[in-house]
């Protein structure tokens, strides 16, 4: 690569305003004219004190950072906790509840000044608590995502020239004046001006809306815009002129406002939430109607206004409890928690929906290099100038110097990769790091071991603009460079896939470095060399060239169509080893055991692909292997026949990968004739829809859907190159590589595999299934609570027992099952057994047969328990719900009673009156009111001579005439409430399993969040029972009642244990490929001599 160098020019002061004038949006020509008027890029560099060939010094970088700022973007201001808290009350049902509680306070306080305000205020406090918890969850979720995003930004790297060396730095550290080095597929980290003399193409659609790639060159349009992508051309050097908010992307980003988008599971849950909400609304209307009737049927029309308000509040609370707002909260918590954990497992989730989708992936179409292998390429054997060197000979091979020179010139010029020798701390790497294509890096390292510095060789033989380099062409599987030599001749350097390049070779080098004519015998010999290397799982490349004695002999359009495909001379064939990753066999076996079909899609030749696929366990004895050229000639019907067994696609192009994905999942298949003709335009000379629609891939939607009534496969695709972007977009989950992947590929993907390992993809499947199951666990838990709470409230109103759970208790239940339950069950960790089932179909219901079994069994038990407790208060030494505990004595009355008669007298004939109870029961306790008292002891015998015992409660009309209740005895309601809550806490443990696994304690203590939520919920319940008082309508209960209520509630675990032995299985039609035999072993031995090739 050559950088423009011009004589020293007059300098000028560079200001922010001047740089902005060179960087005006949508003014390419005007910007270029202004740059030319200043004297060009070289004059700008000189004015910045910059040497373009060596870059900035560290001191210059510091000074320019102080002057022009960093390349950082200020974070979008985070919504404050107070704002989120206030926003949490925008919920319609909460607003109704607040309104109803205020009305209740007003009416009840007017009627009962001392105690009427309590219930309304208690409801307001409960609503306040719900809002506080909701805001806390939303705020912490936002903090989690910001932390995740920050971690991702910190891991980004770009190449910059400083102190004469290429360094890898975070884009944030770039400053105005830096010389950055970009490759095809890179995202441009700052606004800059090209200083290289070559041409590239940039995709600016994300910023300008232009769909076509824009040609960039130093002569025509040298401006590269931040956030855009290099899509074609050689590597390029560019001078940074705009950073951070002063870049074009920065100015737009400052105005961006994005709205969160629901995931498919969230949408499905929203529909279910609405259905449950409608059921709850119906129950609320019925309850309200029954309570209204009871005002006149049971209470003789007394306290109508209070009764109506109470009925309305209870109905609203039922709606609040019934509406499962915890469902979206559960998936939000689960996704937020899982994505942060997945990042630790080397999965950076860019699109939230990918997390849950990956859990039900049925196919993974994986690259070979770097995913199944380590991507540590090393040349280990080769054929050089008619001499073959095996692996044990290669290190000490005596290759002629002129052959080494021919080979090294090709590899050092015809490449995009480069080497970095020091890490970010300035320490030397034990092995130089390869930036870019690792195969090219292996060739550079070989040249380096022979004493050739690739940068020096490049400067020596490659001179722009007369020389040109052409990047890898996936259609003919090669890259090339055209160089003009000092003797006026021209050499075209070619490097590419062995089978493709060999067919264009008509000559070869002999051991003395002389050019010889290719013979059929030599072709056969070289094919055997290539096949032998491939069978040893080596990637093979041919290094070749073709000479033109004079530049005039080059084709007229050589700058657009290089002469790299005829009359080539084969110089060398190299075998490059890329070791299999140590964990890939186990990871592939795990994916297959989970019902996921793993396919290898690679550009390698058939033998290399088969060898690696067999080592990995991908290729089975009955598996089908196919080459790309044959694959794309198949009809849709023929492809559907082999798809179930197609395991390796070799010599494939990115287009082949795209066609495979589309045929599997039906992505964007044409739905009408016009779309089909548009997709296949130019493929055949006489294209006819009716004649060819069933012959050309990928087919059309109507015929595809007929064979897939339950929908297509769920496909995950790996990709690292720019050309992989269409397949990554077409996949249900695009998986790009974090180390070798280009920015184009990463931008098109849903998940970035940070370590490029296949085992990390399997972890993504595991986490996806964990999210899906966690949401279902919470759904199972919440529906149980809904059924029990709503049923008991409604039946209590109908039967006439009042409400076993009052509005405040119901709101606490809502808090327990929504927020606490979502936190506990939404953060369950994945377990290996999640991979012991096949993926669920797209159309599978969230609710399984086993979950309905759980709901009905638990609901039946809990409803039965509550109504047994409702009818048997004496078991808990309690009075019936709502009895008085403490009373006040009214003023004296003219009515009196005798200890010997329960009849009331309308005068003072009886010795007992309202004042009597003050003397006998000074503490106004209900136990004294109900107790037996001696008439003789208290001087109440009157004219009688024989002592007798009496009870105040038996004196007719005494309570109405002399007493008014100060505090009610809530013991009965409290034990019911306590038992109900602990039933839910124990059921929360039960809900950890949604299958037939009876051991719900397995891994219990491995989830500290779950344990903490249970502990907090228990502590809060104890507090509510102990000090809730009239706010919650609870009374402190004895240790005996604590033991009884918790003990009875714990039977929930026993019910959960035995119900799992009810013979029931999940619907097999819920799973993909349920007709196939279940896999029973994690790996099957492979007959390496057998495979089916098409």
Cα separation, 975 vs 865, whole angstroms:
11
Neighbours of 431 (CB within 10 A): 12
Give the pairing type, strands 624-627 and 646-650. Answer: parallel
Phi and psi (nearest 5°) for 1028? -65, -40
**779, 366 Cβ separation under 8 angstroms:** no
Active site residue 191: no
- Nearest-5° Cα angle at 976, 971 to 978: 90
Closest CA to 508 of 494, 519, 498: 519
Q: Quote the strand ranges of 521-596, DSSP E.
A: 539-548, 568-577
Contacts of 291 (CB under 8 A, 6+ apart): 307, 310, 311, 314, 315, 797
Catalytic pick from 191, 367, 578, 607? 367
CA distance 797 to 801: 6
DSSP 3-state percent helix, strand, coil across the chain (nearest 5)? 50, 15, 35
What's the farthest any 2 CA atoms get from each other in the chain?
147
Nearest to 185 by CA among 854, 722, 642, 775: 722
Taking Cα atoms as reference points, which of 483, 347, 1056, 416 lies closest to residue 760? 347
Tell me the torsion sign for CA atoms 258, 263, 266, 270: positive
SS3 assignment, position 272: helix
1031 near 125, Cβ under 8 Å?
yes
- Report how far residue 77's alpha carbon sits from residue 87's, in angstroms, rounded to the nearest whole number: 17
Q: How far apart (Å, rounded) are the C-alpha atoms in residues 128 and 329?
A: 18
Nearby residues of 66 by Cβ (< 8 Å), 6 or more positions away = none
Number of Cβ within a 10 Å radius of residue 527: 13
Concatenating the DSSP letter of every residue in 325-355 gives THHHHHHHHHHHHHHHHHHHTTEEESSHHHH
Q: Tell me how far the alpha carbon of residue 27 is from its chain's centroid.
A: 39
Residue/partner pairs of 802-806 with CB below 8 Å, 24 or more apart:
802/881, 802/882, 803/314, 804/866, 804/870, 804/881, 804/973, 804/976, 804/977, 804/980, 805/976, 805/977, 805/980, 806/119, 806/314, 806/973, 806/1032, 806/1033
φ and ψ at residue 921, rounded to 5 degrees: -125, 75
Say if residues 491 and 483 touch (Cβ distance below 8 Å): yes
- Give phi and psi for 841, each to the nearest 5: -70, 160
Distance CA(14)–CA(3), nearest Å, equals 22
Q: For residue 605, is the peptide bond before it cis, meaning its omega torsion is within 30 degrees of 0? A: no
Closest CA to 263 of 172, 166, 328: 328
Give helix 807-815 / helix 304-322 axis angle, nearest 10°: 10
For residue 239, list its beta bridge partners. 179, 193
Q: Of 442, 458, 455, 453, nearest to 394 (Cα)? A: 442
CA dihedral 443, 449, 450, 451 (to 10 degrees): 110
Among the listed residues 474, 314, 441, the one whose alpha carbon sits nearest the alpha carbon of residue 375 = 441
**Residue positions annotated with a catalytic role:** 367
């Amino acid at each position: 690569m050559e950088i423009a160098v011009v004589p020293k020019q007059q300098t000028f002061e560079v200001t922010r305003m001047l740089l902005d004038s060179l960087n005006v949006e949508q003014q390419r020509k005007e910007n270029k004219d202004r740059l030319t008027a200043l004297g060009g890029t070289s004059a700008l560099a000189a004015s910045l004190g910059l040497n373009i060939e060596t870059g900035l010094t560290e001191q210059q970088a510091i000074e320019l950072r102080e002057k022009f700022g960093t390349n950082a973007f200020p974070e979008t201001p985070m919504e404050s906790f107070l704002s989120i808290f206030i926003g949490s009350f925008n919920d319609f049902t909460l607003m109704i509840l607040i309104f109803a509680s205020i009305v209740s306070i007003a009416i009840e306080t007017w009627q009962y000044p001392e105690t009427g305000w309590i219930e309304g205020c208690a409801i307001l406090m409960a609503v306040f608590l719900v809002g506080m918890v909701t805001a806390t969850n939303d705020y912490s979720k936002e903090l989690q995502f910001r932390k995740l995003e920050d971690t991702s930004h910190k891991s980004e790297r770009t190449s910059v020239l400083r102190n004469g060396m290429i360094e890898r730095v975070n884009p944030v550290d770039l400053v105005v004046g830096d010389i950055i080095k970009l490759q095809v597929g890179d995202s441009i980290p700052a606004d800059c001006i090209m200083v290289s003399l070559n041409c590239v193409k940039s995709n600016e659609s994300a910023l300008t809306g232009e769909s076509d790639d824009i040609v960039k060159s130093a002569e025509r349009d040298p401006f590269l815009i931040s956030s855009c992508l290099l899509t074609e051309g050689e590597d390029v050097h560019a001078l940074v002129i705009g950073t951070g908010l002063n870049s074009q992307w920065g100015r737009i980003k400052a105005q961006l406002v994005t709205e969160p988008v629901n995931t498919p599971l969230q949408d499905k849950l929203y529909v279910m939430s609405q259905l449950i909400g409608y059921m709850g609304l119906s129950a609320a209307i019925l309850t309200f109607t029954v309570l209204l009737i009871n005002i006149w049927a049971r209470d003789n029309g007394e306290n109508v206004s209070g009764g109506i308000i109470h009925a309305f509040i209870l109905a609203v609370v039922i709606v609040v409890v019934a509406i499962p707002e915890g469902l979206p909260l559960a998936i939000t918590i689960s996704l937020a928690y899982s994505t942060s954990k997945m990042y630790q497992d080397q999965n950076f989730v860019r699109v939230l929906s990918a997390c849950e989708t990956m859990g039900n992936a049925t196919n993974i179409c994986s690259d070979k290099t770097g995913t199944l292998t380590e991507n540590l390429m090393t040349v280990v054997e080769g054929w050089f100038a008619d001499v073959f060197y095996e692996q044990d000979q290669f290190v000490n091979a005596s290759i002629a110097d002129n052959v080494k020179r021919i080979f090294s010139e090709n590899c050092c010029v015809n490449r995009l990769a480069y080497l970095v020798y020091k890490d970010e701390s300035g320490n030397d790497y034990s092995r130089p790091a390869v930036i870019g294509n690792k195969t090219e890096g292996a060739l550079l390292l070989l040249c380096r071991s022979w004493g050739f510095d690739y940068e020096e060789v490049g400067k020596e033989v490659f001179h722009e603009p007369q020389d040109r380099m052409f990047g890898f062409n996936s259609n003919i599987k090669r890259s090339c460079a055209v160089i003009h030599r000092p003797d006026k001749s021209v050499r075209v350097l070619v490097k590419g896939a062995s089978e493709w390049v060999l067919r264009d070779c008509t000559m070869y080098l002999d051991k003395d470095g002389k050019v010889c004519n290719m013979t059929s015998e030599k072709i056969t010999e070289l094919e055997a060399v290539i096949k032998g290397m491939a069978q040893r799982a080596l990637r093979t490349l041919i290094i070749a060239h073709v000479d033109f004695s004079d530049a005039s002999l080059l084709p007229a359009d050589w700058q657009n169509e290089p002469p790299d495909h005829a009359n080539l001379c084969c110089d060398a064939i190299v075998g490059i080893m890329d070791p299999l990753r140590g964990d890939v066999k186990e990871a592939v076996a795990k994916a297959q055991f989970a019902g996921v079909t793993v396919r290898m899609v690679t550009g390698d030749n058939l033998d290399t692909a088969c060898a690696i696929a067999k080592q990995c366990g991908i290729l089975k004895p009955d598996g089908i292997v196919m080459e790309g050229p044959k694959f794309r000639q198949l009809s849709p019907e023929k492809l559907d026949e082999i798809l179930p067994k197609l395991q390796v696609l070799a010599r494939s192009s990115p287009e082949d990968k795209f066609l495979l994905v589309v045929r599997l999942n039906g992505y964007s298949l044409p739905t009408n004739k016009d779309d089909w003709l548009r997709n296949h335009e130019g493929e055949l000379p006489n294209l006819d829809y009716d004649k060819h629609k069933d012959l050309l891939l990928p087919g059309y939607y109507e015929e595809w859907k007929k064979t897939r009534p339950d929908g297509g496969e769920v496909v995950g695709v790996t990709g690292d190159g720019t050309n992989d972007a269409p397949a990554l977009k077409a996949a249900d989950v695009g998986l790009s590589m974090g180390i070798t992947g280009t920015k184009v590929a990463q931008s098109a993907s849903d998940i970035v595999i940070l370590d490029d390992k296949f085992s990390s993809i399997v972890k993504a499947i595991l986490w996806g299934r964990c999210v899906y199951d966690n949401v279902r666990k919470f759904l199972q838990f919440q529906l149980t609570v809904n059924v029990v709470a709503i049923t008991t409230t409604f039946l209590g109103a109908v039967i006439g027992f009042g409400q076993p759970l009052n509005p405040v208790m119901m709101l606490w239940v809502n808090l327990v099952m929504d927020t606490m339950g979502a936190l506990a069950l939404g953060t369950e960790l994945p377990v290996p057994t999640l991979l012991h089932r096949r993926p669920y179909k797209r159309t599978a219901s969230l609710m399984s047969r086993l979950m309905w079994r759980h709901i009905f069994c638990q609901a039946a038990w809990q409803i039965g328990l509550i109504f047994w407790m409702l009818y048997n208060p004496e078991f808990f030494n309690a009075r019936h719900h709502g009895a008085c505990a403490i009373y006040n004595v009214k003023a004296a009355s003219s009515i009196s009673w005798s200890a010997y008669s329960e009849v009331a007298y309308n005068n003072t004939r009886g010795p007992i009156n309202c004042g009597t109870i003050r003397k006998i029961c000074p503490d106004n306790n209900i136990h004294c009111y109900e107790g037996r008292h001696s008439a003789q002891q208290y001087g109440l015998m009157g004219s009688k001579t024989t002592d007798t015992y009496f009870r105040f409660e038996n004196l007719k009309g005494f309570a109405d005439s002399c007493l008014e209740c100060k505090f009610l005895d809530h013991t009965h309601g409290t034990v019911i409430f306590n038992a109900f809550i602990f039933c839910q806490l124990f059921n929360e443990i039960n809900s950890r399993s949604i299958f037939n696994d009876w051991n719900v304690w397995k891994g219990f203590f491995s989830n500290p969040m779950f344990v903490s939520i249970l502990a907090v919920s228990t502590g809060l319940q104890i507090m509510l029972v102990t000090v809730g008082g009239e706010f919650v309508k609870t009374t402190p209960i004895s240790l005996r009642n604590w033991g009884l209520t918790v003990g009875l509630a714990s039977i929930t675990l026993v019910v959960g244990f035995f119900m799992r032995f009810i013979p029931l299985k999940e619907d097999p039609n819920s799973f993909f490929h349920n007709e196939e035999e279940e896999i029973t072993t994690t790996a099957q031995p492979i007959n390496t001599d057998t495979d089916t090739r098409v």
